[in-house]
């Protein structure tokens, strides 16, 4: 660990003794002291007191401009008035009945107007809806295998938790990657039904179809790979996948848990002009409430109506989450608000690019919709294996230095990205950029000292 990083971590520890104590207490009863492994990092995570608009406070009383926004679930920002009002009312009228209500077709209709699907079912998390989408694809085709991309994250079910962060050498051939379980407890039978290909590499996808003739039910992907910072599909890649899926009788599933709300008004299919067979939505459609949805054409979704595929869930369409969802689609995810966040995103991205250039940092800035990331590589990454070459300690230096100065630039973890909410302001961007401007020269100096240029950084 280089000295400048040690110094930033020491400052972090000095600033946040209450978080340290809270984490220590939590460790007694909760594995890693957190409720999701993604929330854990060394030396300990920040514990939050509250949030409003674009800001949060930690329990030591420090304020941060928040670009974590619950791992991108809060394009609304904290306590958006429209969401608060809608949810508050439902809290007084009853939250959940396990019986149908009118907000179900209302929200289904909003979704079908915006995304290329004809029917919708709801759930509470991204994991849930990608699981159901994979199952429906299997039922629709009579095939068991799902093709996913190396490094892609689609949640925690057995089909999804494969080759999310596989390591060298177990990940094998770059064009025909080995299916590597993302931890214990994933049955070998599940692994055998997940075929892995390389992102931005159509020949690798074609090869996997050739090797598994008539066996692949669906290709599932994030249209922009967001578990490696931000990896944009190369021109023709999504269209190529569309053609390969159609040619082989497989479904194309867009996991739009992140891109659905945050990339554009109509999500990735509108943005890239490619129509998938199924869409999965979660995170920012719920304004901070647990809300998710999956949709497809009528014939595919009719498998549920014909009792050929089973779908259920006690908390599906609970009224607080559905009211939040309706408020999101009608009052937050509006064309006007997309224009506002696009302006902020441009300002932040261009500001970062100018600072990177001025400081001499070997890095580039990736950006799409309200998401962006400082990518500590001199050239654009194309896939997961490119991403593994990042200098992790340099990224940690960036993150702790920004946090110590009141900007939470993104969730902790170098595979994440920033989110801008509709409640962020020009002044927030100015402060964010001023802090990055202060931090960047130290990062450039550390990078030089560590000799951590792209070629030499592998193996961190
Ligand atoms: C693309 C994508 N799919 C699925 C999921 C899983 O969603 P959840 O955490 O709500 O289960 C995530 C979560 O980060 C995600 O980013």
Q: Whose CA is nearest to atom 7 of ligand 1?
A: 126
Write the pLDDT tens digit of every residue in 50-86: 999 999 999 999 999 999 999 999 999 999 999 999 9
In this prediction, residues 324-335 reach a mean pLDDT of 98
Whether residue 145 sits in one domain with residue 34: no
User: How many CB atoms neighbour CB 305 within 10 A?
Assistant: 10
Task: Identify the sign of the CA torsion 260, 263, 268, 271.
Answer: positive
Beta-carbon contacts of 401 under 8 Å, excluding residues fewer than 6 positions away, are 8, 439, 442, 443
Q: What is the pTM of this model?
A: 0.97
CA 413 – CA 429 distance, rounded (Å): 21
- Label residue 59 left, alpha or beta by phi (over 0 means left) and psi (-120 to 50 means alpha): alpha
Does position 220 have pLDDT exceeding 80, yes or no? yes
Distances (CA, A) of 276 to 152, 206, 246, 413: 17, 18, 10, 30
Residues with CB under 6 A from ligand 1: 71, 125-127, 130, 153-155, 222, 255, 257-258, 282
CB 221 within 8 A of CB 239: no
Structural domain boundaries, residue 137: 81-332
Write the pLDDT tens digit of every residue in 373-418: 999 998 999 999 999 999 999 999 999 999 999 999 999 999 999 9
Whether residue 142 sits in one domain with residue 210: yes
Q: What is the CA radius of gyration of the chain?
A: 22
In this prediction, residues 162-173 reach a mean pLDDT of 98
CA 96 – CA 86 distance, rounded (Å): 15
Helix boundaries (H) for 298-419? 298-305, 319-327, 335-359, 384-387, 392-404
Establish whether 18 is a catalytic residue.
no
Please give the number of the atom of ligand 1 that sits closest to the Cα of 130.
4
CA 204 – CA 374 distance, rounded (Å): 28
Q: How high does pLDDT run on average in the chain?
A: 96
CA of 155 to the centre of ligand 1 (A): 5
Whether residue 275 sits in one domain with residue 378: no
Final residue of a domain: which of 284, 306, 332? 332
Give me the catalytic one of 64, 153, 352, 384: 153
Does position 457 have pLDDT exceeding 70, yes or no? no
In the sheet with 371-375, reading across from the earlier edge strand, the strands are 364-368, 371-375, 418-419
pLDDT at 378: 86
Phi, psi of 241 (to 5 degrees): -65, -40
Whether residue 212 sits in one domain with residue 116: yes
Final residue of a domain: which of 301, 332, 363? 332
Final residue of a domain: which of 313, 332, 351? 332
pLDDT grade for 139, boundaries at 50, 70 and 90: very high
Does position 453 have pLDDT exceeding 60, yes or no? no
Whether residue 114 sits in one domain with residue 260: yes
CA 244 – CA 355 distance, rounded (Å): 41
Query: DSSP character for 21?
Result: H
CA of 72 to the centre of ligand 1 (A): 10
Whether residue 289 sits in one domain with residue 218: yes
- Domain containing 114 — which CATH number? 3.40.640.10
Provide the percentage of residues in the chain whose pLDDT is more than 90: 97
Whether residue 19 sits in one domain with residue 88: no
- Domain containing 446 — which CATH number? 3.90.1150.10
CA 173 – CA 190 distance, rounded (Å): 20
Does position 456 have pLDDT exceeding 80, yes or no? no
Give me the catalytic one of 90, 148, 258, 283: 283
Select from 126, 299, 138, 314 the least CA-distant residue to 216: 138
pLDDT at 448: 94
Whether residue 311 sits in one domain with residue 218: yes
pLDDT grade for 452, boundaries at 50, 70 and 90: low
Whether residue 254 sits in one domain with residue 171: yes
Q: How many domains does the chain have?
A: 2
Establish whether 50 is a catalytic residue.
no
CB 384 within 8 A of CB 178: no
Please give the number of the atom of ligand 1 that sits closest to the Cα of 259.
1
pLDDT at 459: 36
Beta-carbon contacts of 72 under 8 Å, excluding residues fewer than 6 positions away, are 226, 258, 262, 283, 284, 371, 411, 417, 419
Whether residue 321 sits in one domain with residue 178: yes
Select from 336, 327, 420 the least CA-distant residue to 370: 420
CA 439 – CA 352 distance, rounded (Å): 11
Write the pLDDT tens digit of every residue in 268-277: 999 999 999 9
CA of 71 to the centre of ligand 1 (A): 9
Whether residue 360 sits in one domain with residue 304: no
Please give the number of the atom of ligand 1 that sits closest to the Cα of 290.
10
Q: Whose CA is nearest to atom 4 of ligand 1?
A: 154
Cα 217 off chain centre by: 24
Establish whether 255 is a catalytic residue.
yes
Whether residue 345 sits in one domain with residue 327: no
CB 293 within 8 A of CB 281: yes
Q: Whose CA is nearest to atom 2 of ligand 1?
A: 154
């Amino acid at each position: 660990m280089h000295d400048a990083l040690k110094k930033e971590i020491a400052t972090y520890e000095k600033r946040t003794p209450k978080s340290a104590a809270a984490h220590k207490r939590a460790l007694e009863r909760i594995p890693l002291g957190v409720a999701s492994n993604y929330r854990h990092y060394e030396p300990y995570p920040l514990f939050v007191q509250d949030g409003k608009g674009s800001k949060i406070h930690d329990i030591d009383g420090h304020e941060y401009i928040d670009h974590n926004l619950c791992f991108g679930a809060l394009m609304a920002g904290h306590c958006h008035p429209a969401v608060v009002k809608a949810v508050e009312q439902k809290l007084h009228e009853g939250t959940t009945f396990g019986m149908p209500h009118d907000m179900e077709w209302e929200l289904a209709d909003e979704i079908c107007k915006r995304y290329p699907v004809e029917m919708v079912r709801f759930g509470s998390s991204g994991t849930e809806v990608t699981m159901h989408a994979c199952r429906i694809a299997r039922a629709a085709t009579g095939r068991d295998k799902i093709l996913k991309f190396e490094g892609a994250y689609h949640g925690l079910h057995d089909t999804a938790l494969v080759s999310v962060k596989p390591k060298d050498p177990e990940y094998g051939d770059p064009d025909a990657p080995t299916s590597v379980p993302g931890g214990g407890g994933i049955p070998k039978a599940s692994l055998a039904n997940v075929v892995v290909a390389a992102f931005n590499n159509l020949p690798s996808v074609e090869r996997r179809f050739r090797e598994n003739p008539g066996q692949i039910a669906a290709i599932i992907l994030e249209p922009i790979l967001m578990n490696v910072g931000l990896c944009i599909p190369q021109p023709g890649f999504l269209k190529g996948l569309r053609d390969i899926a159609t040619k082989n009788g497989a479904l194309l599933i867009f996991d739009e848990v992140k891109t659905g709300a945050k990339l554009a008004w109509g999500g990735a299919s509108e943005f890239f002009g490619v129509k998938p067979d199924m869409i999965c939505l979660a995170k920012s459609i719920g304004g901070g409430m647990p809300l998710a949805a999956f949709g497809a054409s009528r014939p595919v979704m009719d498998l549920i109506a014909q009792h050929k595929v089973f779908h259920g869930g006690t908390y599906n369409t609970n009224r607080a989450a559905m009211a939040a969802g309706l408020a999101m689609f009608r009052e937050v995810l509006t064309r006007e608000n997309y224009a506002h966040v696009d302006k902020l995103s441009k300002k932040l991205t261009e500001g970062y690019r100018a600072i990177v250039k001025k400081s001499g940092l070997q890095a580039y800035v990736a950006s799409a919709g309200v998401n962006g990331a400082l990518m500590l590589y001199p050239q654009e990454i194309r896939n997961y294996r490119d991403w593994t070459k990042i200098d992790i300690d340099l990224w940690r230096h960036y993150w702790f230095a920004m946090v110590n100065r009141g900007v939470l630039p993104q969730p902790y973890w170098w595979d994440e990205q920033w989110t801008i909410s509709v409640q962020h302001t020009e002044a927030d961007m100015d402060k964010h950029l001023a802090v990055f401007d202060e931090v960047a020269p130290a990062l450039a100096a550390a990078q030089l000292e560590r000799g951590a240029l792209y070629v030499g950084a592998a193996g961190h």
